[in-house]
């Protein structure tokens, strides 16, 4: 019996009698992975951001975020409606205001989604455009080994040599605007890249559209102004009733044009079920592009804006502006001007307004007035109503006040509302009166006289400067052209292989692959390759057993013992 000396695997200081066998000992500790690191996480985040899935999600979020801007009043368009909404919804309103729901399109969260969508589209589309350009410049793919397995394929024989067949294939395919490459006894042809180009054009145009909209929001502006007949508006920041500048807009960029409203006409339906409905609005204006420029006339109508100074002037709304003359207790003219009234009842244009006379002596005067353009008695005969929106029989009722209007305090006031009624302003006893054009009313306490001189009209204008408007229009047109092209043009590939067959003839194999459903173009190509001497419907060769198309129907069947045909 021979003694064998086993190798010891225990560590120093370990009792050999208690050490585990080598097979049962744990392997040495493997170093743990350290992670992808900050740069790796940045790469991963960029890949996730620039996927088409992320772009679609962000596009959906933009559409979802625009919903509150359509449902809730916005400060940029109707600040007075925002104030009214906050007054009516004491609990919900402040919470909505904290999340910028009344100024959605200028909210930080909407801007973040917008910028992420722009970056996502740019990171997704621009690399695709470069790859598409390289693929357009590359050689067509080589012919597959078995052309018969393609969706469209045909085989035939000809007396022409393989070189002549491939030369003819090059000529025919290039005549149909295929990119052709001949190598390895086969011709490879490809076309239809215009469809992918249209797809990329659509996405690039969408990217340009986002950029144009952002450009307009940054450097453009929008303002509203109320202009009465006979008055002139100069494009100055202090003369706007409401002004919303872009983020990067400077007040010095306003073009120095002027607009004068000579006459405003509204035509109404006079008969039938649509009686009282407005049919047309015409504002006859004069404008100057520069202070020393020539004055030009313009007929401002709905969807027929005035283009001046890089901006567009649109016609928005209209109303009535009665003209009043107010004399104080000393008989001096303290006020003489037209006053814009706001409609109370839009169907027949019943309107209300206030007249403030701070220059009256010894007491300041104020009047609250209601206008009926076509005044008639109500059915019960107890009140006055307007029967038609046109000024057929205008009547004004005035309610008089005197005292301190509050303009000297420096606190801004609305021109459509009286402040301090019942406090600093006291109603004049017996100071109510119905007035027709030309009539005057002398206040009972001798504080003054008010005269209804006549009725004019006003129109509200919207001045809009959007430097991204033309780029956005071009981008939208390109997007439509791109998406139409992507649907109309499909990628097509054709391969032609020519090889020597039996009896000195050449076997020609033609295969086609079309993105989507096959087209008749493949059959036209095969017909052109056969030439007039080759008949597609020729009788099959009895020795070869092949069909006219050159394809053996039994080629793919498993081989077996031959059988004699039954008689």
- Say what the pLDDT of residue 532 is: 66
pLDDT of residue 4: 43
Domains in the chain, CATH or no CATH each: 1-9+139-192+490-567 (3.30.310.80), 31-133 (no CATH), 218-318+463-467 (no CATH), 320-456 (no CATH)
Between the alpha carbon of residue 130 and those of residues 127, 134, 135, 140, 154, the distances in Å are: 5, 6, 9, 17, 36
Q: What is the pLDDT of residue 530?
A: 86
User: In the numeric block, which tokens belong to residue 229?
Assistant: 């007949």
Q: Which of 337, 405, 330, 394 is closest to 367 using CA atoms?
A: 405
In whole angstroms, what is the distance from residue 110 CA to residue 98 CA?
Answer: 14
DSSP H or E segment with residue 281: strand 278-288
The pTM of the full predicted model, rounded to 2 decimals, is 0.64
Q: Which pLDDT does position 2 carry in this prediction?
A: 44
Which pLDDT does position 198 carry in this prediction?
A: 92
Three-state DSSP class for 339?
coil
Grouped pLDDT means (10 residues each) for the chain, 567 residues: 45 50 57 72 88 88 88 76 84 89 86 89 88 88 90 91 92 92 91 90 90 86 91 91 82 87 92 86 93 92 90 91 94 93 89 93 92 90 89 94 83 80 88 94 92 94 89 93 90 92 88 85 90 52 40 38 36
Query: DSSP string covering 398-437, please?
Result: EEEEEE--SGGG-----TTS--SBTTTEEEEEEEEEEE-T
To 10 degrees, the CA torsion angle through 375, 377, 378, 381?
A: 160
Distance CA 453, CA 390 (A): 18
Pairing between β-strand 221-228 and β-strand 448-465 as defined by DSSP bridges = antiparallel
Burial of 423 (0-12, 13-18, 19+ CB in 10 A): exposed
For residues 225 and 240, is the Cβ–Cβ distance under 8 A? yes
Sheet with 342-345, strands from edge to edge, namely 342-345, 350-357, 364-372, 395-403, 425-435
């Amino acid at each position: 019996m021979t003694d064998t000396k086993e190798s010891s695997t225990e560590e120093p200081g370990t009792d050999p009698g208690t050490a585990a066998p080598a097979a049962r000992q744990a392997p040495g500790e493997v170093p743990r992975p350290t992670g992808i690191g900050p740069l790796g996480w940045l790469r991963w985040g960029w890949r996730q951001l620039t996927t088409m899935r992320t772009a679609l999600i962000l596009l959906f979020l933009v559409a979802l975020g625009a919903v509150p801007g359509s449902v809730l009043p916005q400060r940029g368009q109707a600040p007075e409606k925002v104030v009214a909404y906050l007054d009516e919804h004491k609990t919900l309103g402040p919470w909505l205001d904290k999340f910028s729901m009344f100024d959605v399109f200028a909210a930080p969260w909407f801007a973040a989604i917008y910028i992420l969508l722009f970056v996502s589209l740019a990171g997704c589309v621009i690399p695709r455009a470069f790859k598409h350009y390289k693929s357009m410049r590359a050689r067509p793919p080589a012919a597959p080994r078995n052309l018969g397995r393609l969706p469209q394929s045909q085989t035939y024989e000809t007396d022409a040599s393989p070189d002549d067949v491939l030369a003819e294939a090059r000529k025919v395919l290039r005549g149909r605007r295929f990119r052709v490459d001949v190598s390895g006894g086969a011709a490879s042809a490809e076309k239809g890249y215009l469809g992918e180009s249209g797809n990329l054009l659509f996405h690039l145009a969408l990217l340009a559209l986002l950029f144009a909209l952002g450009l307009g929001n940054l450097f453009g502006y929008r303002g509203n102004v109320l202009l009465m007949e006979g008055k002139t508006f100069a494009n100055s920041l202090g003369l706007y009733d409401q002004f919303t500048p872009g983020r990067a807009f400077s007040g010095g960029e306003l073009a120095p044009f002027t607009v004068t409203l000579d006459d405003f006409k509204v035509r109404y339906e006079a008969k039938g079920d649509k009686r009282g409905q407005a049919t047309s609005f015409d504002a006859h204006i004069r404008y100057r592009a520069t202070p020393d420029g020539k004055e030009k006339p313009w007929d401002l109508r709905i969807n027929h804006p005035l283009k001046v100074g890089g901006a567009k002037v649109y016609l928005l709304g209209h109303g009535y502006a009665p003209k009043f003359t107010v004399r104080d207790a000393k008989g001096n003219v303290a006020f003489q001007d037209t006053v814009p009234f706001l409609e109370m009842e839009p169907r027949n244009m019943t309107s209300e307004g206030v007249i403030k006379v701070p220059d009256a002596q010894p007491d300041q005067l104020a009047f609250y007035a209601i206008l009926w353009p076509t005044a008639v008695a109500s059915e019960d005969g107890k009140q006055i109503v307007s029967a038609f929106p046109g000024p057929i029989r205008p009547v004004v009722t005035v309610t008089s006040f005197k005292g301190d209007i509050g303009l000297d305090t420096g606190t801004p006031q609305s021109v459509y509302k009286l402040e301090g009624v019942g406090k600093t302003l006291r109603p004049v006893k017996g100071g109510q009166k119905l007035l027709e054009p030309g009539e005057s009313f002398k206040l009972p306490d001798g504080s003054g006289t008010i005269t209804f001189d006549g009725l004019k009209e006003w129109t509200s204008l919207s001045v809009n400067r959007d430097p991204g408007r033309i780029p956005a229009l071009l981008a939208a047109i390109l997007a439509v052209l791109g998406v139409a092209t992507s649907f109309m043009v499909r990628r097509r590939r054709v391969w032609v292989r020519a090889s020597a067959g039996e009896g000195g003839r050449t076997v020609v194999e033609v295969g086609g692959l079309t993105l989507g459903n096959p087209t008749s173009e493949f059959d036209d190509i095969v017909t052109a390759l056969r030439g007039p001497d080759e008949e597609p419907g020729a009788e099959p060769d009895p020795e070869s057993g092949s069909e006219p198309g050159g394809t053996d129907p039994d080629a793919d069947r498993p081989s077996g013992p031959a059988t004699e045909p039954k008689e």
